[in-house]
Structure 1
Amino acid sequence: MIIHIVAGGPKEYIPDLSIYKEDKNIKWIAVDRGALYLQEFSITPDEAIGDFDSMTEEELEQLRNSGLKLDQFQEEKDETDMELALHLAFEYHPEAIQIFGATGGRIDHFMANISLLYQALQSNRNIPITIIDKQNMAYMTKPGTYTIEKMVDKKYISFIPITKDVENLTLKGFKYPLENRHIFFGSTLCISNELILNHGTYSFSKGILLVIRSSDK
């Protein structure tokens, strides 16, 4: 099973989710206003979670009347709505989690969502989690060797150190290759690279990388 989490970020950043609606292997979790977005794609979420502070009382009542399983929290809480949704997703032990509606709009919300990728990686759950919007997809990786395939619609690939140091970063099959390079938090060395082959590899021995695949539009 793959879990799709749809949050309430600006709708214009969310790709066409209707392409997934016939996939029976997907479980949908809506976060706050994401429940309304899913309805617009003619998708009924399996569950909705959050404080729903971005909805009017009329919209919230509409959700309640639809029979949707609604897990509502107080606005004053220690976790963000997305954090609650991820904890819920982990309970299903999915193969992977994909998150939509988590970019654009407020930068603090976006940075919090990126931080959740780090938290999940550190928890050793070994569940791939990817944040996806119309132009970007982002995920984090621990040390190791990884194969990465060319994507026509997202040709730019950036490697951003999340920890103080990332050691022995090696990029093969890229326009700008690297060999056992040490990069540090704040480095822009590995921004906007491209694959020159149908697939390449990246590897490193220490640290955590945020991998972002992007298009111009």
Structure 2
Amino acid sequence: MKGQRKEPACFIVGAGSFDGFLTEPQEGDLVIAADGGYAYLKRLGREPDVLMGDFDSLKEIPQRELIRHSPIKDDTDMALAVAYARERGFRSFYLYGGLGGRLDHTLANLQLMTMLSREKLQCHMVGEGNVITAITEEKICFPKSAAGMISVFCAGEEALGVTERGLKYTLSQARLTCERALGVSNEFTGEESWIEVRKGTLILLWGAENGLEGGRKDAER
């Protein structure tokens, strides 16, 4: 379940742990180390195109293209890296090392991913053995090879027209809210499956061993 990329993507590596890239950076992609994420790239034998942050977590600052931010700021290093890439026309993002570690930064990254989804930009977060993405008025599909658990959460007050097919537990035109985790701990069944939301935003989480989803498209009206 590798997923196909049709346009250049931005890879942003933060200070949280992860076990390597699910999809490899290609020519035309942008790799950014967000402050302490540089240490993880070094362990993978990679160098970033850009290193940015306040460098409060680095013992040694490498001689790369540096964009320094004040430690007194309104955004996280990850959010500033996304803004930098968006200014350069990138519309697809892979955030590594944005899970685990400080809980406040994890929550901030989930908010960032939700914002990108609502602006029709794709974002995947990878770390702690999981892949997380958000869909807004979209349908996301998974192949038969997908296995294990998948959880779905409402990002916002409510999500309407939620349908889940090919999973152990199905939904049809359901309403999900932020007050009840109705979509938690579902399971792939070895069949092709899909999840759709017609109004609102969903956050989806599945095991990183599955890689990326098989594809997505706009929800039916």
Asked if 1:149 is matched to 2:143, the reply is: yes
Say which of 13, 17, 20 aligns to 1:16: 20
Q: 2:35·2:52 contact (CA, 8 Å) conserved in 1?
A: yes
Q: 1:18·1:41 contact (CA, 8 Å) conserved in 2?
A: no
Q: 1:17 to 1:212 in 2, by over 3 A?
A: closer
Say which of 102, 114, 121 aligns to 2:98: 102
Please list every run of 5 or more consecutive structure 2 residues that lacks an aligned counterpart in the other structure.
1-7, 210-221
Question: 2-side partners of 1:139 and 1:18: how far apart?
Answer: 14
Q: 2:99·2:128 contact (CA, 8 Å) conserved in 1?
A: no
Q: 1:150 to 1:93 in 2, by over 3 A?
A: farther
Tell me how far 1:82 sits from its aligned partner.
0.8
**Corresponding residue SS for 2:15:** coil
Task: Kindly report which structure 2 residues correspond to 1:21-60, keeping only aligned pairs within 5 A, or say none.
Answer: 23-56=26-59, 59-60=60-61
Structure 1 residue identity aligned to 2:11:
H
Say which of 70, 74, 78 aligns to 1:74: 70
Deviations 1:1-46, CA, capped at 9 Å, x for gaps: 121100112xxx311249836x434321000011122122111100
Structure 2 residue identity aligned to 1:203:
E
Tell me how far 1:211 sits from its aligned partner.
0.9
Q: 1:183 to 1:95 in 2, by over 3 A?
A: closer
Q: 1:18·1:42 contact (CA, 8 Å) conserved in 2?
A: no
Q: 1:18·1:43 contact (CA, 8 Å) conserved in 2?
A: no
**Corresponding residue SS for 1:87:** helix
Task: Kindly report which structure 2 residues correspond to 1:112-191, keeping only aligned pairs within 5 A, or say none.
Answer: 112-122=108-118, 124=119, 126-150=120-144, 152=146, 155-191=148-184
Tell me how far 1:151 sits from its aligned partner.
5.1
**Corresponding residue SS for 2:183:** coil
**Corresponding residue SS for 1:53:** coil
Q: 2:131·2:208 contact (CA, 8 Å) conserved in 1?
A: no
Question: 2-side partners of 1:91 and 1:215: how far apart?
Answer: 29
**Corresponding residue SS for 1:157:** strand
Q: 2:34·2:81 contact (CA, 8 Å) conserved in 1?
A: yes
Q: 1:84 to 1:199 in 2, by over 3 A?
A: same
Tell me how far 1:174 sits from its aligned partner.
1.0
**Corresponding residue SS for 1:20:** coil
Please list every run of 5 or more consecutive structure 1 residues that lacks an aligned counterpart in the other structure.
none
| Normalised TM-score (structure 2) | 0.83
**Corresponding residue SS for 1:15:** coil
- What is the aligned length? 202
| Normalised TM-score (structure 1) | 0.84
Say which of 200, 203, 208 aligns to 2:193: 200
Match of 1:4 in 2: 11
Match of 2:88 in 1: 92
Structure 2 residue identity aligned to 1:135:
G
Q: 1:155·1:215 contact (CA, 8 Å) conserved in 2?
A: no
Tell me how far 1:205 sits from its aligned partner.
2.2
Question: 1-side partners of 2:73 and 2:172: how far apart?
Answer: 46
Q: 1:88 to 1:215 in 2, by over 3 A?
A: closer
**Richer in helix (by share):** 1
Tell me how far 1:164 sits from its aligned partner.
1.0
Q: 1:45 to 1:200 in 2, by over 3 A?
A: same
